[in-house]
């Protein structure tokens, strides 16, 4: 069902990668307090990778480094196509724009100058996230789940093969989250995107990921990984998902106890 592996095996440079981190360290402050230390990670093209860890372990920092929003202190990061799209926990939509115009803005920033082309592409992307009829809806007319779908369409408008997702469903109710899990998996399968998904929810990671990485705390290091062989589509209540959730949770508790969180 699943295989677990201690981390530290050498990655061969001959293996195709969508994201590669080599010896990545990040420190903050005058004292150079390390948040991430010696991260070596290779993400295959088309892989769905979930990152887990206790609060403050550096999950979001790691995504920001991959996205190029913050420089590494040492080490290197390579991303397929030179850039990655990033989706945040909050939708961060502009309330004075419609759903379609929010997506169009990302296309405009990407360099799509023709208005008709932007509109057509925005409609296509909204259709891809099951919001085909929402182009003219204002943000206040959208539910929380719909707003996150628009945010996802906006991220897709950045035209990257690598999609970074920072706890995008954390603020949603359980039923909406479950629906979006299904839709995200379908979208991933349809587009063959590489997804790096940060979550603090162990069951969510077991539900979505092909591989689950557990980060230690203070500083963040890769502590453990699981290669998940449970076929998609999965349900959150599936016995195999529950079993894997228990296994990962036990390791997470060990890490929290070890670091005194």
The pLDDT assigned to 259 comes to: 64
Per-residue confidence at 3, pLDDT binned at 50, 70, 90?
A: very low
The pLDDT assigned to 255 comes to: 84
Give the pair of three-digit tokens for residue 26: 């990040």
| H/E element, 106 | helix 99-110
For residues 52-70, give the mean pLDDT.
92
Give the pair of three-digit tokens for residue 37: 């230390």
The pLDDT assigned to 4 comes to: 42
Express each pLDDT in 153-189 by its tens digit. 999 999 899 999 999 999 899 999 999 999 999 999 9
**What is each CA distance from 149 to 78, 83, 102, 181, in whole angstroms?**
28, 21, 12, 11
Residue 15 has pLDDT above 90, yes or no: no
Residue 69 has pLDDT above 90, yes or no: yes
Residue 221 has pLDDT above 50, yes or no: yes
For residues 44-63, give the mean pLDDT.
93
Express each pLDDT in 166-175 by its tens digit. 999 998 999 9
For residues 108-127, give the mean pLDDT.
94
Q: How far apart are CA 165 and CA 155, in angstroms?
A: 9
For residues 134-143, give the mean pLDDT.
94
Q: How far apart are CA 186 and CA 31, in angstroms?
A: 45
| H/E element, 179 | helix 174-191
CB half-sphere exposure, 144, CA atoms < 13 A: 13
Per-residue confidence at 260, pLDDT binned at 50, 70, 90?
A: low
Per-residue confidence at 14, pLDDT binned at 50, 70, 90?
A: low
- Domains of the chain are 2-84+162-259 (3.40.50.300), 92-159 (no CATH)
Q: Is the peptide bond before 220 cis (omega within 30 degrees of 0)?
A: no
Residue 224 has pLDDT above 70, yes or no: yes
Name residues whose C-beta falls within 8 Å of residue 214's C-beta, 6 or more positions apart in sequence: 52, 53, 222, 223, 224, 225, 248, 251, 252, 255
Q: pLDDT over 90 for what percent of the chain?
A: 79
Per-residue confidence at 74, pLDDT binned at 50, 70, 90?
A: very high
Look at the block and give the residue holding tokens 């990040």.
26
| H/E element, 24 | strand 19-28
Residue 90 has pLDDT above 50, yes or no: yes
**Nearest-5° angle of CA 12, CA 211, CA 85?**
85
């Amino acid at each position: 069902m699943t295989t677990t592996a201690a981390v530290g095996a050498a990655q061969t440079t001959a293996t195709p990668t969508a994201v590669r981190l080599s010896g990545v360290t990040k420190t903050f402050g005058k004292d150079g307090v390390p948040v991430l230390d010696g991260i070596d990670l290779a993400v295959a093209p088309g892989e769905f990778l979930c990152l887990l860890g206790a609060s403050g372990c550096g999950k979001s920092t790691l995504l920001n480094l991959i996205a190029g929003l913050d420089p590494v202190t040492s080490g290197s990061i390579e991303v397929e196509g030179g850039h990655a799209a990033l989706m945040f926990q909050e939708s961060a939509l502009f309330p004075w724009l419609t759903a379609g115009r929010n997506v169009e803005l990302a296309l405009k920033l990407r360099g799509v100058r023709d208005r008709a082309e932007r509109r057509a592409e925005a409609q296509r992307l909204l259709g891809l996230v099951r919001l085909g009829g929402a182009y003219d809806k204002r943000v206040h007319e959208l539910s929380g789940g719909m707003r996150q779908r628009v945010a996802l369409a906006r991220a897709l408008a950045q035209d990257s093969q690598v999609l970074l997702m920072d706890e995008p469903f954390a603020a949603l109710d359980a039923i909406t989250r479950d629906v979006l899990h299904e839709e995200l998996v379908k979208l991933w399968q349809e587009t063959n995107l590489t997804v790096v998904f940060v979550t603090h929810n162990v069951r969510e990671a077991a539900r979505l990921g092909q591989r689950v990485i557990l980060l230690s705390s203070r500083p963040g290091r890769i502590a453990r990984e699981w290669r998940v062989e449970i076929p998609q589509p999965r349900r959150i209540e599936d016995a195999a998902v529950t079993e894997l959730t228990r296994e990962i949770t036990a390791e997470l508790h060990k890490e929290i106890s070890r670091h005194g969180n």
